[in-house]
Amino acid sequence: MQHNPIQIVIVDDHPMVIEGLKTLLSDDVRVTVKTHFINGTDTLAFLKNNTVDVILLDVNLPDISGVDMVTKILNLRANVGIIGLSTYSEPSIINQMIKNGVKGYLLKNATADELVNAITQVHQGNFYFGSEVQKILADSVTQESRDLPKLTRREKHVLKLIAEGKTTNTIAEELFISPLTVETHRRNLMQKLEVSNAASLIKIAVEKKLI
Q: Which residues contact 60 (CB under 8 A, 6 or more apart)?
A: 13, 66, 86, 87, 88
- One domain for residues 89 and 130: yes
Read off the amino acid at residue 154.
R
Give domain status of residue 113, yes or no: yes
Q: Is the pLDDT of residue 2 over 60?
A: no
CB 102: neighbour CB atoms within 10 A? 28
- Taking the model in full, what pTM does it have? 0.67
Q: Can you tell me the distance from the alpha carbon of 179 to that of 170, in angstroms, rounded to the nearest whole number?
A: 9
- Give the model's confidence band at 142: pLDDT under 50 very low, under 70 low, under 90 confident, else very high: low
Q: Higher-confidence residue: 96 or 84?
A: 84
- One domain for residues 73 and 164: no
What CATH number has the domain bearing residue 195? 1.10.10.10
Domain of residue 200 covers 153-207
- One domain for residues 10 and 111: yes
Q: Is the pLDDT of residue 144 over 70?
A: no
- Give the model's confidence band at 90: pLDDT under 50 very low, under 70 low, under 90 confident, else very high: confident
**End of a domain among 127, 144, 161?**
144
- One domain for residues 90 and 113: yes
Q: Which pLDDT tens digit goes with each residue over 41-64?
A: 999 999 999 999 999 999 989 999
Give domain status of residue 1, yes or no: no
Q: Can you tell me the distance from the alpha carbon of 18 to that of 15, in angstroms, rounded to the nearest whole number?
A: 5
Q: Higher-confidence residue: 133 or 59?
A: 59
- One domain for residues 202 and 133: no
CB 109: neighbour CB atoms within 10 A? 9
Q: Is the pLDDT of residue 146 over 60?
A: no
- One domain for residues 176 and 138: no
